[in-house]
Amino acid sequence: MMQRRNIPPRNRRRTAFTLVELVVSMGIMSILFGGTISAILIASHALPDGQSPAEQILCGGEVVDAIAGDLFYATAITESTATAVTFAVPDRGHGAAGPETIRYEWLGIPGNPLTREYNGGVKLTVAAGVQDFALSYSVTAAKLDIKKGALEGSERVLLQQDGTNSGTPSDFAIQTGFLCAESFQPTLPGTATSWRITRVKFMAAPDAVLDGKLTIELVQPDMSGKPGLTVIDKVNYLGESTLVAKQWHEVAFTKAGGLSPSSGVFIKFSGKGTGTVALLRIGTGGVAAAGTAFFADSGTGTWVESSTTNIWLSVYGTVTGPDQGAAPTVSTLHSVGVALQTAASAATRVETQVMTVNAPDVRGL
């Protein structure tokens, strides 16, 4: 009969933890979990939340760098205030070819955003809740070295003769072969280089028979100082029917420019018709105004001067001389100071000075 073998208890396999072991292991795990959670909490407090001074400085610096990057290439400044700037930059390939426009603006009210506008488009916020934004400009002003040329002045009265200064009113009958002329040389500034006649007013009445035409000419004097044959400009006035008695009539001249300051001009009246073409108002018995002289041809083909007669005339014109205007001032922008504060603390203020490589012209700002 086979004998039964007894196995000692210490050699038997264990299939579970004892209660003591389980309690001890749970305590160790609690300690490990507690430490892990604490480490996570500490690490979460170390993460930036966007409100710390360091984070505000970092964000503000990025905005200031972007502004500086745009201003660096500015080619023209069209607006330059303490809180807004508008400028052009070379073509960046957005839309039509040519310079493009950038505008930064802060309304100057703490808490309002700083915006950027590109080519007149939508305003985009580049920094919210801005407490301060300030721009300063380093500008050098200089006179432009411009060689000035001749400048023609505005129209002025060059001669005024009427009933107040030309003797007793009378009429000169303009007929074919019966004509008259007034020599005229205005008083001009010493710097004048030339002058021009633009308009002439005269007083004339029609005759009883409306069959003639009146001609007004500007002619140069001949060698003897009488009306010559060189015509500067000419107006064929309409027939007698257009003349209104006791009224001033006006003719305009477009070719009577470049006249020498040392030379005079004759204003000559002649007519064509079967009888009297016009009754031209003159003054007799007076003293000729300075720079004037009256000549008449009474059908003989010879000009005769009268020192006591003047034609009633209003002569308008311009005077040309050296440009005496002040040289324009051009202001060149060398750099722009940019300061941005995005939080209440002054410690978050970011400042920079950006050079404008193209030295844009800021004339007129």
Sequence-ordered alpha helix ranges (H) in the chain: 19-46, 53-71
Q: Which of 168-172, 222-226, 343-347 has the lowest mean pLDDT?
A: 343-347
Length of the chain: 365
Spatial CA neighbour of 271 closest among 204, 325, 219, 336:
204
Q: What is the mean pLDDT of residues 263-270?
A: 95
Region class of 126: left (phi > 0), else alpha (psi between -120 and 50), else beta: alpha
DSSP per-residue codes, 164-204: TTSSEEEEEEEBTTEEEEEEE-----TT--EEEEEEEEEEE
Residue scoring higher pLDDT (238 or 161):
161
Domain ranges of the chain: 53-144+330-355, 150-321
Q: What is the pLDDT of residues 273-318, one digit of tens each?
A: 888 999 999 999 887 778 899 999 999 999 999 989 999 999 999 9
Q: What is the pLDDT of residues 85-95, one digit of tens each?
A: 999 998 887 76
Q: Is the pLDDT score of 323 beyond 60?
A: yes
**Measured distance CA(63)–CA(57) in Å, rounded:** 10
Q: What is the pLDDT of residues 204-233, one digit of tens each?
A: 998 877 888 999 999 999 999 999 999 999
Please tell me the pTM assigned to this model.
Answer: 0.51
Percentage of the residues of the chain whose pLDDT score is greater than 70: 88
Location of structure tokens 């002329």: 181
Q: Is the CATH number 2.60.120 carried by domain 150-321?
A: yes
Q: What is the mean pLDDT of residues 148-174?
A: 89
Structure tokens at 280: 């031209």
Q: Is the pLDDT score of 11 beyond 60?
A: no
Give the pLDDT of residue 84: 94
The amino acid occupying position 261 is: P
Q: Is the pLDDT score of 339 beyond 80?
A: yes
Q: Is the pLDDT score of 188 beyond 60?
A: yes
* Distance spanning both ends of the chain, measured CA to CA: 126
For residue 264, what are the contacts with CB-CB under 8 A and spacing of at least 6?
Answer: 183, 184, 185, 221, 291
DSSP per-residue codes, 36-74: HHHHHHHHHHHS--S-SHHHHHHHHHHHHHHHHHHHTT-
Give the pLDDT of residue 365: 46
